[in-house]
Amino acid sequence: MEFLDTPDTYAAWVGEVDGVLVGHVALVASSSQTVMDIASAALGVPAAALGVVARLFVAPQARRGGTGAALLEAAVDAGWARGLYPVLDVVCDAHAAIALYERLGWKRAGQATIRFSNGHSLDEYVYLAPAK
């Protein structure tokens, strides 16, 4: 549960189809420093003004049914309602997610390499929600 319920979570939503939980998304206060720096610079606002859409996933059997888009919309609307600019980071090879974001008008602001203490790293794109 720690993955889903971090202390910096503003809110989270689940997707349900016919009474079955099939998806999840959260709005959180922060991502890695590099991601926050890129989004902050692109928007010209402090990191505290960003709402990070995170942990979006839909169960494989429920994909391509609109759940992902609906969850994303819920998180984005909640971000704007809190006076936050919705942003997100996504691994560069998450092609389905990237297609979803770009279809919904999200704009790529940059690319970040996240380095972990175990020597591994992850390449990510940083996206900004379309203007309200």
Ligand X SMILES: CC(C)(COP(=O)(O)OP(=O)(O)OC[C@H]1O[C@@H](n2cnc3c(N)ncnc32)[C@H](O)[C@@H]1OP(=O)(O)O)[C@@H](O)C(=O)NCCC(=O)NCCS
Q: Would you tell me which residues interact with ligand X (CB under 6 A)?
A: 56-58, 63-69, 90, 94, 96-97, 99-100, 103
Q: 30 by DSSP, 3-state: which?
A: coil
Sheet of 121-128, strands arranged across: 9-17, 20-28, 50-58, 85-91, 121-128, 107-115
Comparing every residue's Cβ against ligand X, the nearest one is 68
Closer residue to ligand X, CB minimum distance, 42 or 69: 69
The nearest distance, CB 41 to ligand X, in angstroms, is 21
Closer residue to ligand X, CB minimum distance, 12 or 44: 12
Q: Do 14 and 74 touch, CB atoms closer than 8 A?
A: no
The nearest distance, CB 118 to ligand X, in angstroms, is 21
